[in-house]
Amino acid sequence: MEEKLITIKNNAISLILEAKNLKETEEIRIQFLGRNGEITQLLKTLPKLSKNERPKLGSLVNEVKNIIEDTLTIRVRDLKNNKSNNVNLSKFDITEPITESDRKLGHLHLVTQAIREITAIFNEIGFTRVRYPEIEWDWYAFTSLNFPTNHPARDDWETFFIEAPVDEKKGPVLLTPHTSSGQVREMKKGKLPIKMLNIAKTYRRQSDVSHTPMFHQFEGLVVGENIAISDLKGTLNYFVKSYFGENRKSRIRPYHFQFTEPSFEVDITCGVCLGKGCRLCKEGWLELGGAGMVHPAVLKFGNIDPEKYSGFAFGWGVERVLMMKEGIKIDDLRILYSNDMDFLKQF
Q: What are the start-end ranges of the H helices in 52-187?
A: 53-81, 100-103, 110-123, 138-141, 182-187
Predicted local distance difference test score (pLDDT) of residue 210: 67
Predicted local distance difference test score (pLDDT) of residue 84: 46
Which amino acid belongs to residue 50? S
**Rounded Cα–Cα distance for residues 152 and 129 (Å):** 30
The stretch 6-29 carries a mean pLDDT of: 88
pLDDT tens for 94-150 read: 666 666 555 556 778 889 999 999 999 999 999 999 989 899 999 999 999 999 888
Query: Of the ranges 41-50, 51-60, 314-323, which is most confident?
Result: 314-323
Asked whether the bond before 133 is cis by omega within 30 degrees of 0, the reply is no
Domain 110-344 = CATH 3.20.20.330: no
228-234 long-range Cβ contacts below 8 angstroms, 24+ apart: 228/310, 229/262, 229/293, 229/312, 231/312, 232/264, 232/291, 232/292, 232/293, 232/312, 232/314
- Whether 330 has a pLDDT exceeding 90, the answer reads no
pLDDT tens for 53-62 read: 888 778 888 8
Predicted local distance difference test score (pLDDT) of residue 101: 56
The stretch 298-313 carries a mean pLDDT of: 96
pLDDT tens for 152-207 read: 887 767 889 998 899 989 999 999 999 999 999 999 999 999 999 999 999 988 77
- How many angstroms separate the most distant Cα atoms in the chain? 70
Average pLDDT score over the chain: 86
Q: Is the pTM of this model over 0.85?
A: no
Q: Judge contact between 125 and 235, C-beta under 8 A.
A: yes
The stretch 66-83 carries a mean pLDDT of: 84
Q: CA 346, 200, 128 angle in degrees (round to 5)?
A: 105
